[in-house]
């Protein structure tokens, strides 16, 4: 049976789809919810609107400008690598993983580069809205990444008899994330589990060339 899409077309479709869904959800949340507002879906799943200046899952480790610049350089390198492995006709699943990682990285770059200049600030008492370019809450490359998916699968207090941590509030899986983060994580996890040999082989071929 003839393949419906070429590997290049499949990669492009994945990247465009992830970006569209990611940005639609982010803009919808940002323009309809107050900062830190929560929508209870189930006891273990909430839509919780938050923003962060850092890396995936809300981690803040380095300066914002450096982080955004690093992401852009990383996306350029991933894009070059994606084109290279498509030309070399590597396994479709491997290419899909790289496309997911690239799409997720671009998704968060869009927030970082543009959101600061096209949205006013989200607060606990103000819902953000689009504003003329340059009248937003920040500068170019200083935008905050929008996160919303929260899965407190276990939300409890540790037993008092437990040494050191006894009686403390404990939440299993507390990170709040977005679709772009999910795309990156899924791409990396599947890559490491199912395509680690392919990854090693691809880099060996790059070094020989």
Contact 40, 151 (CB under 8 A): no
**E strand or H helix at 88:** none
Is 181 labeled as catalytic in the residue annotation?
Answer: yes
Q: Which pair of tokens denotes residue 180?
A: 């772009």
Query: Among 43, 84, 111, 147, which one carries the catalytic annotation?
Result: 147
Quote the CA–CA distance of 143 and 14 in Å, as a whole number.
Answer: 25
Sequence-distant (6+) residues with CB within 8 A of 107 are 18, 19, 22, 23, 178, 179, 180, 183
HSE at residue 43, side-chain half, CA atoms within 13 A, is 3
Q: Given 43, 84, 155, 181, which residue is catalytic?
A: 181
CA 167 – CA 123 distance, rounded (Å) = 32
Active site residues: 147, 181
């Amino acid at each position: 049976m003839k393949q419906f899409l070429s590997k290049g077309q499949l990669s492009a479709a994945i990247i465009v789809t992830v970006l569209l869904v990611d940005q639609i959800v982010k803009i919808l949340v940002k323009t309809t919810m107050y900062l830190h507002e929560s929508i209870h879906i189930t006891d273990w799943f909430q839509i919780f609107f938050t923003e962060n200046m850092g890396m995936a899952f809300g981690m803040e480790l380095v300066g914002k400008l450096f982080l955004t610049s690093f992401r852009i350089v990383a996306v350029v390198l991933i894009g070059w690598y994606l084109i290279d492995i498509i030309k070399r006709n590597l396994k479709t699943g491997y290419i899909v993983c790289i496309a997911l990682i690239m799409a997720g990285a671009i998704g968060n770059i869009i927030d970082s580069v543009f959101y600061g200049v096209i949205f006013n600030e989200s607060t606990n008492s103000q819902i953000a809205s689009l504003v003329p370019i340059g009248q937003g809450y920040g500068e170019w490359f200083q935008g905050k990444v929008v996160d919303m998916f929260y899965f407190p699968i276990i939300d409890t207090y540790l037993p008092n008899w437990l040494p050191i941590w006894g009686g403390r509030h404990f939440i299993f899986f507390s990170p709040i994330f977005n679709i772009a983060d999910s795309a990156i994580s899924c791409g990396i996890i599947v890559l490491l589990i199912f395509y680690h040999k392919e990854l090693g082989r691809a880099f060996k071929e790059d070094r020989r060339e």
